[in-house]
Amino acid sequence: MIIKRNNLMEEKRKLKRFILYFNVIEQTSGRLLGYSGDIHQKGLMLVSKYEIPLIMDIPVLVQVPGEVGVKSEIPLVINGIWNQLNMNPHFYNTGCRIVDPSQGVIDAINELVKEFSA
C-alpha cells in the first residue's frame, strides 16, 4: 500500500517487493500464464494476457533463467486475490498469494530476489 502525504509517496508494505519478470507456467497444461511482476515470499503479481480466476488454487512453475544457485523452476500454488487491467489494456494484473509455501520454496524465492536484485 502506498500512502501519499504532502506530495511524498510512502511505502507501507511490510515485505519488500522486487520487480522481477519470470515466466509463470501453469503446471497442469504447460501453458504460459504470464510473467511475475513483483515477487516476495508470500505472493506475486502476475501480468497476463488472460484474466486469472480469483479464489482458485492454481499450481504453477516460476521459471528462473540461468544458474542462480536455486531451482531453475520453482513450483508454487497461487491463489488470485485481485485483478485489474494493466497500463497496457491487452494485459491483466493479478495479485496472487502463495498458498502454503514450503520452507524450500521460501528459501528459493529469497535467494532469487537476493540474486536478481543485487
pLDDT at site 17: 47
Identify the residue with better confidence: 19 or 102. Answer: 102
Q: Percent of the chain having pLDDT more than 70?
A: 75
Residue with cell 497496457: 88
pLDDT at site 14: 53
Nearest C-alpha neighbor of 44 from the set 30, 58, 31: 58
Q: Which residues contact 106 (CB under 8 A, 6 or more apart)?
A: 41
Domain 2-117: which CATH class? mainly beta
Domain boundaries, the chain: 2-117
**pLDDT single digits (tens) 8-60:** 444 454 555 455 678 999 999 999 999 998 888 899 999 999 889 998 999 99
